[in-house]
Amino acid sequence: MKNNIYSLLTIVVALFTVLSFSACEDFLEEDFRSGITTDNFFNNDAEALLAVNGTYRILHRASLYKTRGLDNYYVNGTDEVGPNRNVNGQIHNYLIGEGVSDGADTWNSCYELARNAALFLASVEGNEKLSESIRNQVTGELLFMRALAYFHLTNLWGDVPYFRELPSTEELSVIERTDKVLIRSEMKEDLDRAFDLLPSEYGSSELGRVSKWAAAALKAKFHLLDSEWQDCLTECQEIIDNSPHRLLDNFADVFDQNPLTDQYNDEHIFVVDFTKDPVGSDGNTQRTDDYNPRIRDEPANRNVRPGGDGTPTNVELLSAALAEQGEDMTGYGWAIPLPEIADPANWEDGDLRYDASIVTEYLGFQLAFPYYRKNWNLNQENSPRGNHPENYIVFRLADIYLMAAEAENELNGPANAYTYVNTVRARAFEPDRPWSGMSQQEFREAMYDERKFELATEGHRKMDLIRWGILLETVMNTEHRSFNNPAANIQPKHVLLPIPLAEILLNPNLLNSDPSNNGYR
């Protein structure tokens, strides 16, 4: 059978995957144990940990967090990011259709994560061969992984095939879509259970594992997307009041992952950990290359000789300046700020996040394009092309504060919501510029920009615009570069993707509940 969500050939691939990440990820350095099969695992704690470690590896797929997999559908096609030339146009310009940028690889990876989680949960829960602490931890991690898979699936496709226990091949081949309301409801219940089972913190050798606060953050995000304001606020308050996480004093420090042995900080709640020179084919990230410049594009006036005839050109001077500090511009330029967000005039006066997020000049050279400073790394020794160690920040505390502010405003108006948003803004401005005196609607609309500037490129923007009901108008009113014109193509159906064509051809039952395939037929 072809490679799709119904193929069981990859169900146990995670079990036999040995991960070796950065020095702070010793928890993924389990030795392979010969003889482990789906019939006899798990016989001890090490085997259970090996299996759950394999599920972390799935997150390193190019179709998820390694490169532009999820970013294609969460970041591109909004008002934040676009390429610096005519590439990725099907995604950015909303030329999506069945079999055309329909997210098939992301769909497959999410279902592999869901399948493996279901399989391993069945072998862990109630397994007396495991110590209670490991059984609880692994169960919590697997519940989180399954919830994360269905989080992405329901965000991108709405109603999707759903299972909690691994079905037979025959059942999978005729499975239909399930209402996303039911799926999300059960995932929230699972995350409640995961919260109770998972530890609050890990030791330095196990950073990157799912904590109870990661489970709470994912549950809060589910509630946010479903406009369940009180539940969202409750989860956010729990994290703010009781977790070990704190806002860093300096916004730029949140994204500083140097040195490589100290990439985590107190604001990170859950990250996908990548490392340079991993064991095996996965483990490093190429996402950074999308945000790094190409030297062939830079700097502005690159062939001008500022010293006159016979002297070096600007590009030669920039290359020399970069080399002096061990840097180079070897990226792709596929993910640069759109013109409006790159313009400081569109940010509030004094917003320190602008310079920490956007760069238009470097080493004294004006750049031809703006770039996201928060996501680039030009260091050629520690972060070379195609072999980057930068972690993908999935959840961090500032997002939790802004979610709490929005939930409180929706419940009771802005009076008590100011505390949350102004805590985030306190580090963003000098002098401080707290919010006050707004109506509920004014607060609601101000949050549109606040979340954009605080969380740009972090994978939240498109879902924010969709849940606010303003994706179409935002895209149509945003300035894009001359080679892109998403405003001409975007339609209401584009709040979801079509079920991938390859899946429909293998299982026509996927159209039973919606013959239009999310409006694409």
Residue 259 pLDDT grade (very low, low, confident, very high; cuts 50, 70, 90): confident
87-135: per-residue pLDDT in tens?
999 999 999 999 999 999 999 999 999 999 999 999 999 999 999 999 9
**What is residue 281's predicted lDDT score, i.e. its pLDDT?**
72
**What is residue 12's predicted lDDT score, i.e. its pLDDT?**
38
Tokens of 324: 């002096």
Backbone angles phi, psi at 40, to 5 degrees: -125, 0
**What is residue 198's predicted lDDT score, i.e. its pLDDT?**
98
Residue 28 neighbours by CB distance under 10 Å: 27
DSSP 333-347: --SEE-HHHH-GGGS
Q: Is 366 helix (H, G, I), strand (E, B) or coil?
A: strand
Find, among 50, 38, 210, the residue nearest to 119 by Cα.
Answer: 38
The secondary structure of residue 9, as a DSSP letter, is: T
Tokens of 270: 């859950």
Residue 280 pLDDT grade (very low, low, confident, very high; cuts 50, 70, 90): confident
Calculate mean pLDDT across residues 152-168.
96
**What is residue 300's predicted lDDT score, i.e. its pLDDT?**
98
Residues written for the chain: 521
Residue 325 neighbours by CB distance under 10 Å: 11
Q: Quick one: which H or E segment has residue 272?
A: strand 268-272
Residues 6+ positions from 113 with CB-CB distance below 8 Å: 55, 58, 59, 145, 146, 148, 149
Determine which of 47-56, 137-146, 216-225, 251-260 has the lowest per-residue pLDDT on average. 251-260
Rounded to an integer, what distance in angstroms lies between the CA atom of residue 295 and that of residue 303? 12
Beta bridge partners of 358: 372
349-368: per-residue pLDDT in tens?
999 999 999 999 999 999 99
Average pLDDT over the chain, rounded to an integer: 92
Calculate mean pLDDT across residues 333-342.
97
Residue 148 neighbours by CB distance under 10 Å: 26
456-480: per-residue pLDDT in tens?
999 999 999 999 999 999 999 999 9
Residues 6+ positions from 411 with CB-CB distance below 8 Å: 229, 230, 233
Calculate mean pLDDT across residues 402-416.
98
- Asked whether residue 4 carries a pLDDT value surpassing 60, the answer given is no
Tokens of 230: 């009180």
Quick one: three-class SS letters along 124-156? HCCCCCCCHHHHHHHHHHHHHHHHHHHHHHHHH
**What is residue 279's predicted lDDT score, i.e. its pLDDT?**
83
**What is residue 293's predicted lDDT score, i.e. its pLDDT?**
98
Give me the percent of the chain exceeding a pLDDT of 90: 89
55-74: per-residue pLDDT in tens?
999 999 999 999 999 999 99
Rounded to an integer, what distance in angstroms lies between the CA atom of residue 63 and that of residue 279? 20
Residue-wise burial string across 207-229, b where 16 or more C-beta atoms lie within 10 A, e elsewhere: bbbbbbbbbbbbbbbbbbbbebb
**What is residue 33's predicted lDDT score, i.e. its pLDDT?**
37
pTM given for the model? 0.93
Tokens of 390: 């930068």
Separation of CA 449 from chain center: 19
- Asked whether residue 38 carries a pLDDT value surpassing 70, the answer given is no
Does a cis peptide bond (omega within 30 degrees of 0) precede residue 344? Answer: no
Calculate mean pLDDT across residues 329-357.
97
Residue 261 pLDDT grade (very low, low, confident, very high; cuts 50, 70, 90): confident
1: exposed, middle or buried (Cβ count in 10 Å: 0-12, 13-18, 19+): exposed
Residue-wise burial string across 359-389, b where 16 or more C-beta atoms lie within 10 A, e elsewhere: bbebeebebbbbbbbbbbbbbeebbbeebbb
Beta bridge partners of 76: 81
**What is residue 34's predicted lDDT score, i.e. its pLDDT?**
41
60: exposed, middle or buried (Cβ count in 10 Å: 0-12, 13-18, 19+): buried
23-36: per-residue pLDDT in tens?
334 434 334 334 44
Tokens of 302: 């690159």
Tokens of 7: 């193929």
Find, among 462, 460, 469, 515, the residue nearest to 159 by Cα.
Answer: 515
**What is residue 39's predicted lDDT score, i.e. its pLDDT?**
58
Rounded to an integer, what distance in angstroms lies between the CA atom of residue 76 and that of residue 95? 13
Q: Quick one: which H or E segment has residue 472?
A: helix 471-476
Locus of tokens 């979801």: 496
Looking at per-residue pLDDT, the higher value among 233 and 39 belongs to 233
Locus of tokens 């991993």: 278
Q: How far apart, in Å, do the first and last CA atoms of the chain sit?
A: 26
336: exposed, middle or buried (Cβ count in 10 Å: 0-12, 13-18, 19+): buried
Rounded to an integer, what distance in angstroms lies between the CA atom of residue 228 and that of residue 221? 10
Residue 402 pLDDT grade (very low, low, confident, very high; cuts 50, 70, 90): very high
Calculate mean pLDDT across residues 131-140.
97
Quick one: three-class SS letters along 354-400? HHHHEEEEECCEEEEEEEEHHHCCCECCCCCCCCECCCEEEEEHHHH
Tokens of 179: 């209402």
